[in-house]
Every structure is written in C-alpha cells, then in structure tokens.
Structure 1
Amino acid sequence: MTSRETRWMAGPTLRGLALLLLAAVLLVGLSGCEREAQSYRLEGPIFGTGFHITFYGDYSDARLDEIEQAVKQSLDKVDHLMSTYKPDSELSRFNQAPVGEPFTLSPETAEVVREAIRVGDISRGAFDVTVGAAVNLWGFGPDKHPDRIPSDDEIASALKEVDYRSLKLDGNQLTKTKPVYVDLSGIAKGYGVDQAARALEAQGVKHYLVEVGGEIRTKGTKPGDKPWRIAVEKPVSNERSVQRIIELDDSSVATSGDYRNYFEENGKRYSHTIDPRTGRPITHHLVSVTVITKDCMTADALATAIDVLGPQGGLDMAERENLAVYLIVKTDQGFEAKASKAFQRYLKRSDEEVPS
C-alpha cells in the first residue's frame, strides 16, 4: 500500500471529480432554526487511483477521526484482499493455488466473485474476470509492452486461459477447474465504494457521496433536501465537458468508455476494452456506458459488460434485465444518446441534455 495523505475540509466545497464521472457538490445552508450542516471531505490514493468522499453533518474532531479511520480501513481491506499487484493478497494466493484445489476465500472476496460470475452469466460471457491474459497480450494490463498487434496464434493461445465458467464457488470455497488468472479490477473498485459507504453508515453518516476512480455511490441529500447531481462526461479525449446532468437518490453509478485509453497503429484505433469472447478489442461505436444500480459493485461490472456488448446488444441486455442504462454512441453526425426504459425516470428528474 502506498502512503496516503488524507485531508478533512469543513465548509462549502465545489469539486469536479475526475475520470469518467464529474460530481458537483454544492453546500447550501439549512433553513429555519436547524443548526447548519457542515460539509466534510476526505480524500487520498487507493487502488492505483484516488478516492473522494463528501458528507454533511455536524461532527467533533474526535468523531471525524473515527470516521476517517473506518473509511480507510474498509478501503485498505479490499485492496489487501483483491489486489493483483500484491503477491500476498488473497486473490494472488488463489491465482497461485493448484488447479482443482479448493481455496477458502474471505466473505468479502467470495461476495465479489459470486457477483462477477452472476454478471458473467447474464451478459453471456461479455464480463469475464479471467480475461487478464488477453488484456495483457494487447498491452493494457500490468504487464505492459510496446504497442503492437498480437498474432492470431497468440490470441488463440491467450483465449485458452479465459473462461470464468471454470470458477466454481461453493459457499466461500473457490476452485478453478483449469489454469486461469482472476483479476477483479472490473468489479472490486465498485465494491470498494460500497464498503466505504457501509463504513460511513456504520458511523452514523446519513448524507454522503463516495467516489473511487469515477465510480460513485450516494445516500441521502445535500442540505436543503437537495439531491446529489452527477454529470455524465461527454466522451471526447481532448477536453472535459458535460453530456448530461442526472440526479441520484440512494444509488450507485458507474461509467465505462474507451475514449481515453487506446492505441493506434496504421491509422486504426484499438480500444483498451477487450471482448473476452474473442480476445480482441471491441470495434463498435459505443463510446460511453453509464449504469445506475443500488450497489456500485454491480454497476461497475455491468458497465464493462454492456461496453463489450455494444449499442444494440447492450441495450437489449438492459431491457432484458430491467437495468437503468444510458448509452452514448458515435455517429457520422456526432454523438447519439440512448437510454433504457429503466433509465427514463432519471432523465425526467434531471435537466435537459447539455447542448454540444
């Protein structure tokens, strides 16, 4: 774990959260005779990115220290259990374990693996936590190499190690039936958001926004009973601008997109998102996916799955599973937005789409 600097800040705050989602947090005074709520922010590095937490209330310095420690411990625990960069993490030890030998997971890791398998099933293999061999082959994983196009034989060889169905979870006992490498980075970040949120709630915090690397979970409201307003970023690589504002209640939001992480060769762009069914980068024109669910872990995984499936396949899955999904598709005329039926209520509650 790298060293962490955390800061508490009391008073009005306005911060554009980085990466795929921008969250505008504006303090408004409470009316009437109620004591004015204070705004507090905690931030620091985690999971190779950063976390930002804003919450409201009235807490003593001692209580703030307790809240800070609870949040840090919750995030550190997820990192220690599920990091692929730590050779002694629980996940690394499972990856090093022999094929066919049951491995006892912590309840936390088992929860994440169980959800990863479920999302793999409902997405028909578009989400696969064993895709690491193919991701590394294309130079988008931790084993980076100079940008180049793998051969068909190399891709076929990597695909032999991609199969989430070879993971058998019985309670907390996880067994792999063939050699695979499990990487939970497509779901564990969202789970970290959930765990930080649970830590806040255990400390009595009722109104908060938690963000880790662009994945967000909210609860309650801002002072004045105002909703949390989240900005979906416009999918352009050369600037940060807003596509649409949405209002959140007690829910989570995750976004997936390929408009910043890619490489080009001979004039062709290769996305960092690898389709685990083909071992190759996606080639469709879906450039951004936003998913709203109760748990951020689930939103995180679903956003990746729908990104792989593409505009039509992703929308079909959203309707089939009754998911709140917002898609941005690149066309010859610009960007076209599509929303599932379950997402419509967020559009009705929010501002009109931000013009280009």
Structure 2
Amino acid sequence: MSSYVTKWLAPLGLAFLLVACKPADTPEPLATPVQHLTGNTMGTYYSIKITDLDEGRAQELQQEIDRRLELVNEQMSTYRPDSELSRFNQFDDGGRFPVSADTAKVVTAALQLGKLTESKLDVTVGPLVNLWGFGPDARPSRIPSEQQLSQVKARTGLSFLSVEYDLEGAYLHKQIPDLYVDLSSIAKGFGVDVVAEYLSAQGLNDYLVEIGGELRLSGVNGHGKPWTIAVEKPGNGTGAIQQVVVPGNNSVATSGDYRNYYELDGRRLSHTIDPETGQPIKHALASVTVIHPSCMIADGLATALTVMGPEQALAFAEQHELAVYLLTKTEDGFRVDMTRAFKKYSRG
C-alpha cells in the first residue's frame, strides 16, 4: 500500500459538502477566545479558526498565511497564465521544465495516487473536462462524438507525465507536447496543509483550517473540546446536516457531483470525468468524504473514489483501511456506507 495512503481553485470546482458546526452540548460562552481569519484564495474562500490567540498576533499570522497561499497560486493555478504550472502546460520543446519543490511534491503525490487508484485520479484530464463544457470552454451543443472523445483522450494520460530531480532542483517532463496538467483535484488540499503546518510551526496546536470546504483540524475549540464538523446532506443548498463527525487531528475532504452538472440530449452530465471512458460518471454515488492526516491526500482520494462509484469505492477504501463515508442516491433518498475506519469518527 502506498505510503501516501497511510498518508484551488476555480469557481464551480468539485462540490465540497462540509460545514463547520458547534457541538450541540456546548451552548455556553467560549471558555477561551477564538480568532477567526477569513479571506479569498484559489478562486474560493478560506476560513481559519485559532484558539487562544490574541488579535494582534492573529493579524500578523494572516499576512504570512496570505503570502503562502499566494505562492501556491503562483505555482499551481491554471487560471494564471504566468503560473509555474501554466508555463509548463505551454512548454512544448520536449525537455525538462524546472519547477519549485512544492509543485514537484504535489505532482508526485498526484502520480502516486493515480497509480494506486489505477488512474481514477488523473490530473491530465483537463482537455476532457473542457470538451464536456466544465472548463473555460463553452458547453457543447451536442454530446461529443466517439471520434472527438478519442482525439482528446489521446492527449491525456499519467504515463506521459513524470517528475525528475537532480542536484540543481526538480523538473516536470511531458512525453507529448500538448499534455495539460490541472492540479485542482489535489492542490487545494495542499494549500490547507501549507497553512496548518505553518500554524503548527508557530507553536499553535488548536486550530481549524478550511479552504473551500476542505479542512484540517488540530486540538480543541474555544470550549476546550475537539472540533466537530458536519457532512452536509446532498440537496440544493439546504445546509441540512447528514452526519456529525469528530475527526481529531486529521483532515477532511469531500467530493460530490450533485451541484455542478447540466443536462444535454436527455442526459445528466456530471462535472466528474472518468479518465478511462472520457465521459462524465454515470453511477449514483452522490458524495464521498475522506478523513486522513494529509488534506492533500484526502482531497485526491475523494476525487478518485467519486470516479470509482459506490461499490468499487467502498471495496477500495476497506482494502486500504481508509476512513471513508459514502452517500449513494436511491429512489428513497440516500444510502449511507461508511468504512470500519470511519466509524470511530462518526457521532449520532
């Protein structure tokens, strides 16, 4: 089993279904003050809660947090034409392209997760996402033909991408000139890890870091109790709670397909693309929640499991002892499946 398992983004990205919530049994005033930092990054928002911190230091920390998140954007955003990743995507001379250690780390993790999941996580499927109208291109007026799918699929594949190192640094290499890498399925989780690890390095042990629904938690809240969160019930923004979770010192990531879709020629087209078929997923798995120490890994796994579908995802998660919670659409609502590893975090 990969060591990564024992482990931004653009608007209208994956459907992240997690919301922070206050423990129901603690309505009393906070025992310890909590500073709440908010801002924008990676095409979405961030929300950071830090327990037992004075306001002046919180403002100093936020300046450094903003700087570090801006650096992630400069490295990995596909919406910035001058970012490191965008320049690599435009690079076509067949040689090695120098990148930062952070970009190399995220691409390496994506490649390892891709291998582990048999390419269910594939960070090269951007051209297929665009073909189906979920990228910057306009939505198609008709279902793409098999010929179109074949032509675009030929420009995708993890086997065409590699990370290389020498004494001078790290490099990305593409075997076909028009390979396009999009790290949106994993880099937002990396951003969460960047912030959390910075806070820990500053001697802060009690915090909740969220970027667009992806979270990493440590220690306790202002009531002196472990942070509690809730998995949102799938629906049209109802905000109803599906499952209360106490993750401990872990990260939580959720992927779902019920918010970002459209209908064409009588088909419901999800934004989640199966790299094997080149088409939107067709199964009934509505959302996947993963608990893992690394938010980057939880983020990537949530996407891969969503592509797999309910039966394969549950079997894979049990095989690798992952803490995973699945919601599958049925005629009567949603079926809940959770792995043995997840049950210790669930409440109610």
TM-score in terms of structure 2 length: 0.89
Q: Aligned partner of 1:38: which letter? A: P
For residue 315 of structure 1, what is the aligned residue in structure 2? Answer: 314
Q: Which has the higher contact order (CA 8 A, sep 6+)?
A: 2
For residue 5 of structure 2, what is the aligned residue in structure 1? Answer: none
For residue 221 of structure 2, what is the aligned residue in structure 1? Answer: 222
From 62, 67, 71, the counterpart of 1:68:
62
Q: Aligned partner of 1:212: which letter? A: I
C-alpha change, 1:60 and 1:46, in structure 2 (3 Å) is: closer
Q: Aligned partner of 2:147: which letter? A: D
Identity over aligned residues, as a percent? 47
Alpha-carbon contact 1:139-1:147 (below 8 Å) kept: no
From 113, 116, 128, the counterpart of 2:122:
128
What does the per-residue CA deviation read over 1:21-57, in whole Å, with 9 as the maximum and x for residues that have no partner? 1111478657xxxxx5211111111111111111111
Partner secondary structure for residue 199 of structure 1: helix
Question: Matched residues in 1 for 2:340 and 2:144: separation?
Answer: 40
Between the two proteins, the alignment pairs up a number of residues equal to: 326
Matched, 1:265 2:264: yes
Q: Could you tell me how far 1:148 is from its partner in structure 2?
A: 3.5
Q: Could you tell me how far 1:125 is from its partner in structure 2?
A: 0.7
For residue 303 of structure 2, what is the aligned residue in structure 1? Answer: 304
C-alpha change, 1:200 and 1:289, in structure 2 (3 Å) is: same
Q: Could you tell me how far 1:240 is from its partner in structure 2?
A: 2.2
The within-5 A match list for 1:268-287 is: 268-287=267-286
What does the per-residue CA deviation read over 1:267-294, in whole Å, with 9 as the maximum and x for residues that have no partner? 4211110101111000001000000100
What does the per-residue CA deviation read over 1:84-107, in whole Å, with 9 as the maximum and x for residues that have no partner? 111111101111122531112111
Question: Matched residues in 2 for 1:155 and 1:84: separation?
Answer: 22
Question: Matched residues in 1 for 2:238 and 2:300: separation?
Answer: 26
Matched, 1:212 2:211: yes
C-alpha change, 1:25 and 1:51, in structure 2 (3 Å) is: farther
What does the per-residue CA deviation read over 1:197-243, in whole Å, with 9 as the maximum and x for residues that have no partner? 12222232221111111101101111343111111011112522111
Partner secondary structure for residue 255 of structure 1: strand
Alpha-carbon contact 1:232-1:246 (below 8 Å) kept: yes
Alpha-carbon contact 2:52-2:222 (below 8 Å) kept: no
Question: Matched residues in 2 for 1:266 and 1:104: separation?
Answer: 44
For residue 45 of structure 1, what is the aligned residue in structure 2? Answer: 40
Gaps of 5+ in 1: 1-17, 31-35
The within-5 A match list for 1:143-292 is: 143-146=137-140, 148-171=142-165, 172-179=170-177, 180-237=179-236, 239-292=238-291
C-alpha change, 1:316 and 1:155, in structure 2 (3 Å) is: same
Q: Could you tell me how far 1:144 is from its partner in structure 2?
A: 3.2
The within-5 A match list for 1:319-330 is: 319-330=318-329
Q: Which moved more, 1:223-232 or 1:134-143?
A: 223-232
Gaps of 5+ in 2: 1-14
RMSD, aligned α-carbons: 1.7
From 54, 57, 61, the counterpart of 2:52:
57
Partner secondary structure for residue 185 of structure 2: helix
Alpha-carbon contact 1:67-1:203 (below 8 Å) kept: no
Q: Could you tell me how far 1:266 is from its partner in structure 2?
A: 3.9
Q: Aligned partner of 1:57: which letter? A: D
C-alpha change, 1:173 and 1:266, in structure 2 (3 Å) is: closer
Question: Matched residues in 2 for 1:223 and 1:238: separation?
Answer: 28
For residue 92 of structure 2, what is the aligned residue in structure 1? Answer: 98
From 12, 17, 20, the counterpart of 1:20:
17
Question: Matched residues in 2 for 1:37 and 1:228: separation?
Answer: 14
Alpha-carbon contact 2:35-2:54 (below 8 Å) kept: no
Q: Could you tell me how far 1:19 is from its partner in structure 2?
A: 4.6
Alpha-carbon contact 2:33-2:53 (below 8 Å) kept: yes
